[in-house]
Amino acid sequence: MFLRVSVIVTEIMVAGKAFETANVANLEAVSVMTPRWEFPLTEPKHQRGSFMSTAYFLGIFTAMIFLAASPVAADQVEILVELVEVKCGNTEDVTGADEFYIISAFTGGTSASSNSSITRPISINDGERKLFPESDCVMIHARIPASGKLVGALRAYDEDYAKTWETMRTTVGKATKAISAAAEAAGSDEDVKMAETLEAGFEVYDGMASLDSDDVLGEETLIIRAGGPSEEILTWKMVEEGLGFSTWEYTVTYRITRSG
Ligand SMILES: [Ca+2]
Ligand SMILES: [Ca+2]
Ligand SMILES: [Ca+2]
């Protein structure tokens, strides 16, 4: 479409230029010839005709430039936020591998643009990097207004108290519902208000004793605007270097994809 409009504009530019050049030649001829032949070249009708033709071309030219410069306006943007991999520099557990997992909460301010997810634990040790399984990657996939945004909150854990992961689906569903309801009730697109609605989701998880007993490795808040590159690969680093019993270091890579 854009290419086609560009070609048409170029054609009009060439035609307009040729027309203009011809007119300039005519007008020069008029000024040179005026002293000797006042008629017909200085006849007002002829000059008005030239002016009208030039204005006509200019009008079309301007319209075509406007069309070419205006992108096809998408009022909605589809955003996909996915986990890619986790890299471990240093585990939290003092001996052996950690069981690394992430819970997430996202909202675009409506029920339809709210979601929560949890990944099944990945056994990972010092110096290793592991891909999140495809079935656990998607944190949010939503359509939001082109002027909108998503806010998200991520929390990473090392599992120390085994859970029945099959029953976690029910919990994830409850968390998603809680975020959806809070987002609809808040009815706000302020960053802080949107982030607050995510708390409703975390409260559901925090109510589980087994999850509450696991070690929290890091937390991250995200604001993802609808406008932006079609693909971004970002990292979230969490480090504990303190004087406590344990130290750890993790880097999580995630991807944002936008399409019109
Ligand atoms: Ca631990
Ligand atoms: Ca552990
Ligand atoms: Ca350690």
Could you read off the pLDDT of 207-246 as tens digits, one per residue? 988 888 899 999 999 999 999 999 999 999 999 998 777 8
Dihedral through CA 144, CA 145, CA 149, CA 155, nearest 10?
-10
Residue in this structure with the two tokens 């007002």, named with its chain if needed: 44
| pLDDT reported for residue 68 | 53
- Return the exposure string of 210-244: e unless at least 16 CB atoms fall within 10 Å of the residue's CB, then b: ebeebbebbebebebebeeeeeeeeebebeeeeee
Q: Which long-range contacts (CB under 8 A, 24 or more apart) does 27-32 make?
A: none
- Write the pLDDT tens digit of every residue in 125-176: 999 999 999 999 999 999 999 999 999 999 999 999 988 888 898 999 999 9
Quote the ligand 3 centre to 100 CA distance (angstroms).
Answer: 13
pLDDT at 246: 87
Distance 253 CA to ligand 1 centre (A): 22
Query: Among all ligands shown, which has an atom nearest to the Cα of 93?
Result: 1
For the record, the structure tokens of 14 come out as 């060439």
**d(C-alpha 79, C-alpha 76), whole Å:** 10
Quick one: pLDDT at residue 192? 94
pLDDT for 74 equals 72
Residues 5-22 have a mean pLDDT of 42
Interval between CA 156 and ligand 1 midpoint (Å)? 12
- Whether 201 shows a pLDDT value over 80: the answer reads yes
Give the residues across from 218 on adjacent strands.
156
Cβ neighbours, 10 Å, residue 24: 11
pLDDT in tens, 16-55: 444 344 444 343 333 333 343 343 444 444 445 555 566 6
Ligand 3 center to 178 CA (angstroms): 35
Domain ranges of the chain: 2-69, 76-259
Ligand positioned closest to the Cα atom of 241: 3
Q: Give the DSSP letter of residue 107.
A: E
Lowest-confidence range among 43-47, 86-90, 140-144, 188-192? 43-47
pLDDT in tens, 97-126: 999 999 999 999 999 999 999 999 999 999
pTM: 0.72
Q: Which CATH number is 76-259 given?
A: 2.60.40.150
- Ligand 3 centroid–CA 215 distance in Å is 12
Q: Which residues surround ligand 2, an ion (CB under 5 A)?
A: 93, 99, 158, 160
Is the Cβ–Cβ distance between 81 and 113 less than 8 Å? no
